[in-house]
Structure 1
């Protein structure tokens, strides 16, 4: 049988253990709450944004010859894109892609090189999209009509994947997307109008 002293010692040990566990919990709870607040505020991932700063047309205006219908094309869109990183951490993006579409069909593309955008920073990217004549053959009649009507509508789609890294180990993947409708005036051969919308997936 246990003596009174042994029982008192056992009770004292249990009390000490409870005090220690309680002390640890009291220390961990504030740390947990602080980490939660930071995760929901300071370290909450925000979507990087793509903005079209300017669009210009380069090349030679299309020439259409009759009576045998023949069209010569040399159209290049020069785009200046601004990527904004709204996070308090760097955004490293991989190889992106920018596409040129006419009436929903891809007629040109270019790769966007990987890069690093600092916290709360931004960077400019230049994209030079050239119309590939062989890819527009099925829509040549529509293109001729648009040129004769004085306006050709093109669409650009840009996709840039990357990730935001907090404290060196908290990583959030993000894909920034942008789609722009660009109207090119003929025979002035200038951008008449541009409308863009952006979308980001975290």
Structure 2
């Protein structure tokens, strides 16, 4: 019986370490570029809405301060104690102050309290409060404030002041929120003989 021919193993190809390292480097660089591209795209997607919101916050979504204006102030009733001298007596008045509040924002302005105070020489001589409410975007509301005032007569013309303060907040799209407290300060003179207010001067002040 013929001897079986021995099968010689094929000679293995020489190991080329330099080629394997080059291939690995190319694959690594390829994956790294893809990773950087994905990160760049993801970052861009995050930055676009952030930039848009930032631009809107300085333009359309910029929160403006509500403006308070005193349209008129009238005396409904006036009573003076006749038992006292003309120049030194207590005067009781019922005043009606007509105030308008304008909301220039693109969102509603909600306020919790509106307080109007009357001053004489720095002392509060009358106060009235309006209930909480809401002013729609780009709208204006009128507030009729009735105040009972008791002042000390100091002559034919008396210096007085009126202050209105409204605590509120503006919220845009549930993202931009800001608390603002618009205030109006007015100074004037009251003529006892004509029962009218004169030389009214008002200014705005906003607390943030």
**Same fold by TM-score greater than 0.5:** yes
1:62 and 1:73 in contact (8 A); partners too:
yes
Q: Matched residues in 2 for 1:24 and 1:106: separation?
A: 60
Aligned pair partner of 2:80 in 62, 66, 82: 62
Deviations 1:104-153 (A, max 9, x none): 11111111211100111111111112114xxx5xxx4xx2x32xxx2222
* Structure showing greater relative contact order (alpha-carbon pairs closer than 8 Å, 6 or more residues apart): 1
List gaps (5 residues or longer) in structure 2: 1-16
Question: 1:43: Cα distance to partner?
Answer: 0.9
Aligned pair partner of 2:201 in 171, 187, 195: 195
Q: Matched residues in 1 for 2:138 and 2:183: separation?
A: 19
State how 1:142-153 maps to structure 2 within 5 Å.
143=153, 145-146=154-155, 150-153=156-159
State how 1:6-85 maps to structure 2 within 5 Å.
6-65=24-83, 71=89, 73-85=91-103
More helix by share: 1
Shift of the 66–196 alpha-carbon distance from structure 1 to 2, 3 Å rule, reads closer
1:49 and 1:200 in contact (8 A); partners too:
no
Structure 1 residue aligned with 2:163: 157
Question: 1:168: Cα distance to partner?
Answer: 2.1
Please state whether the residue corresponding to 1:131 is helix, strand or coil: strand
CA RMSD of aligned residues (A): 2.4
Q: Matched residues in 1 for 2:87 and 2:135: separation?
A: 49
List gaps (5 residues or longer) in structure 1: none
Larger radius of gyration: 2
Q: TM-score, normalised by structure 2?
A: 0.81
Q: TM-score, normalised by structure 1?
A: 0.83
